[in-house]
Copies of this chain bind each other. A is one copy, B any other.
Amino acid sequence: MPRHDGRKPTQLREWKIKRKYTRSTPGSVLISAGRTTVLCTASVELSVPPWMKGQGKGWVTGEYNMLPGSTSPRKQRERGGKTDGRTTEIQRLIGRSVRAVVDMTALGEKTITLDCDVLEADGGTRTASITGALVALVDAVRSFASAEDARRIIRDSVAAVSVGIVDGVPVLDLDYPEDSAAHVDMNVVMTGAGKFVEVQGTGENAVFDEQDLAAMLKLARGGMKELAALQKDALGKSWPFA
């Protein structure tokens, strides 16, 4: 049974990465997966939060936001003093995912903030955010570090993809219609070397068994290879890894 957009279960959407999209931050990446479009910028500050001072270590943090016009109906801005639960979860995930590959001591007392602002949302905004943020991070680190130093600071690439079970079939890289219909939804974050950073599987008013889990992890592993290649391709000579 073909997917609603004609893709095979194992097929990613069309992903594109455009570096140096804006010039106000050392890292600025426009990443798209089908219609989902995220602007990932990486800002560098030469200090760390108060609770980290004097340890010689750096800090990497992520923020996530959907622009009001990124979705229909329009999403209200989170200005009333309250960041919604989904936003909080996603930005914590982005931060953890990227920190898993950064050596904070090699980074030194700097803070890098990865801002992932969703311009258009069609499913998979958190996975696009992580995948784009890595590229912005590399550009930001390269703005003050040699290739060799960058490789010490960033130990490996990291990317993310979603998998899920739609109409009983495990599929890769769900768009919004699929995401809404999925009974199980899983986000997998992996390094370029193929190790897990994060596995988050959730039954949406449903449950799943070990076989479902195995099928989804296999799909994720396939997608992840393509995304790592895409990151490498986008970074070209700036790619710091082996």
Residues of A within 8 A of B (CB): 21-25, 28, 35, 37, 39, 41-43, 45, 63, 65, 67-74, 77-83, 85, 88-89, 91-92, 96, 99-100, 113, 115, 117, 119-122, 186, 191, 193-203, 205-210, 212-213, 217
Contacts and interface: CB of A to CB of B under 8 A. Distances in A.
Contact of A67 (B39, B70, B120, B205): B39
Nearest to A99: B205
Copies of this chain, tallied across the complex: 6
Given A82-B82, A83-B79, A69 B22 contact: yes
Contacts of A195: 203, 207-209
A53 B24 CA distance: 28
A44 to B, nearest CB: 9
A37 B21 CA distance: 11
A146 to B, nearest CB: 22
Given A209-B195, A217-B210, A41 B67 contact: yes
B203 A70 contact: no
B68 A22 contact: no
A217 B45 CA distance: 41
B202 A198 contact: yes
Contacts of A203: 100, 195-198
B209 A24 contact: no
B37 A22 contact: yes
Contacts of A85: 88-89, 91-92
A71 B24 contact: yes
A120 B41 CA distance: 11
Nearest to A30: B119
